Amino acid sequence: MSREVKIAVLGGGSWGTAIVKMLTENLDTVYWYIRNTNAIEYIKKEGHNPNYLTSVELHTEYLKLTDDINEAVKNSDLLIFAIPSAFLSAELDKLNKPLTDKIIFSAIKGIVPETGLIVGEHFHEKYGVPFENIGVITGPCHAEEVALERLSYLTIACADKSKAKLLAEHFDSHYIKTKISNDIIGTEYAAMLKNIYAIAAGIAHGLGYGDNFQSVLMSNAIREMKRFTKRIHNIDRNINRSAYLGDLLVTGYSTFSRNRLFGNMIGKGYTVKSAMMEMNMVAEGYYAVKSAHKIKSKFKKKVKTPIIDAVYRILYEGKNAKKTIKELTDKLD
């Protein structure tokens, strides 16, 4: 991959905005697809995203903004997707260009609901993108802290390490450090699962459980994540690394977490619909738990996942949150 690789960011939410900020520290051309034309006009005029990370000053002189996904794709070699998983299929349906010659990096932390696949596999199966051209941007990193230029670590995973390294160089800055990994499958599943555990943490908090319980929940969550990822892709991985445990902790404990906030509202008695309406943001874990529940039901040898089961029952079977978390407490150690 050449050093002059042309990059497009797809998605105008918090994470897309943070990625654009990070890349324009190093690159003087970044294509940026945002579906909202008014937001594009505002960014061009004011240099800020009107809806997400509104305080971030954007280097508009380096940005090629477009509301046409095909224009961004046509002009770029490497595409970074930061569209919530629930909306990815609908956005990809707008494509009239093949993706087979593109390098695809997913910054999405979820499962594509329509196919039940992690994002990398979705691009491989549905769009014929070879695995060596597929990567993941992950790690414990909140868009809000990138906005504040607080030191953050990203893990860039790709089967072809040279591609991961080159992209990592474009992210590195005085507030971003990057690590390389080739565990695309494990990091993607871990990123999806930690959102479910953060919802559980939020529900418990909303119900009045304290820090003592939260630490037990997180301790059980990392072991559950280890069992799940091992069943999916059994390689020798250190689950305590930042891309797995680190990401779980930031989401489980941070006040910036969308998933924890969503869970907190559920614990306080909001319905799913009203909790979603309160947020201008997307809690990926809501969609992830449905997919994770379906995936685990297909495992030939069963895996113990009491936290996923509890969150699924609360969000999709209408079970009482207080009673379900109480039952969960008896299954944790």
Ligand X SMILES: NC(=O)c1ccc[n+]([C@@H]2O[C@H](COP(=O)([O-])OP(=O)(O)OC[C@H]3O[C@@H](n4cnc5c(N)ncnc54)[C@H](O)[C@@H]3O)[C@@H](O)[C@H]2O)c1
**The dihedral of CA 179, 48, 256, 15: what is its sign?**
negative
CA pair distance 277, 271, nearest whole angstrom: 10
Region from 220-228, 269-277, 280-288, 304-312 binding ligand X, contact rule CB under 6 A? 280-288
Residue 263 touching ligand X (CB under 6 A): no
Residue 11 touching ligand X (CB under 6 A): yes
CA pair distance 236, 163, nearest whole angstrom: 22
CB atoms within 10 A of CB 323: 11
CA pair distance 111, 104, nearest whole angstrom: 16
CA pair distance 73, 79, nearest whole angstrom: 7
Residue 48 touching ligand G3P (CB under 6 A): no
Binding site listing:
11-16, 35, 52, 87, 109, 139, 143, 194, 247, 257-259, 282, 284
Among 8, 10, 12, 136, binds ligand X (CB under 6 A): 12
Region from 134-142, 162-170, 177-185, 294-302 binding ligand G3P, contact rule CB under 6 A? 134-142
Short-list 83, 136, 84, 16, CA closest to 287: 84
Among 35, 48, 102, 109, binds ligand G3P (CB under 6 A): 109
Name the H helices within 233-305: 247-253, 258-267, 272-278, 284-297
Binding site listing for NAD(+):
11-16, 87, 143, 258
If residue 111 lies in a helix (H) or strand (E), which one and from where to where? Answer: strand 111-112
Which backbone phi and psi does 67 adopt, to 5 degrees?
A: -100, 15
**Min CB(307)–ligand G3P separation in Å:** 15
Q: Is 194 a catalytic residue?
A: yes
In the complex with ligand G3P, which residue's Cβ is closer, 188 or 247?
247
Contact pattern for ligand G3P over residues 218 through 247, marking x by CB under 6 A: -----------------------------x
In the complex with ligand X, which residue's Cβ is closer, 107 or 199?
107
Contact present, 213 and 303 (Cβ < 8 Å): no
Binding site listing for NADPH:
14-15, 35, 52, 109, 143, 258, 282, 284
Residue 141 touching ligand G3P (CB under 6 A): yes
Please, which of residues 70-89 interact with ligand X by CB under 6 A? 82-85, 87
DSSP readout, 176-236?
EEEEEE--HHHHHHHHHHHHHHHHHHHHHHHHT--HHHHHHHHHHHHHHHHHHHHHHS---
What are the structure tokens assigned to 155, written together? 């893990």
Residue 252 touching ligand X (CB under 6 A): no
**Binding footprint of ligand G3P on the chain (CB under 6 A):** 109, 140-142, 195, 198, 247, 250-251, 257-259
Which residues participate in catalysis according to the annotation? 194
**Binding footprint of ligand X on the chain (CB under 6 A):** 11-16, 35, 52, 82-85, 87, 90-91, 107-110, 141-143, 258, 281-282, 284
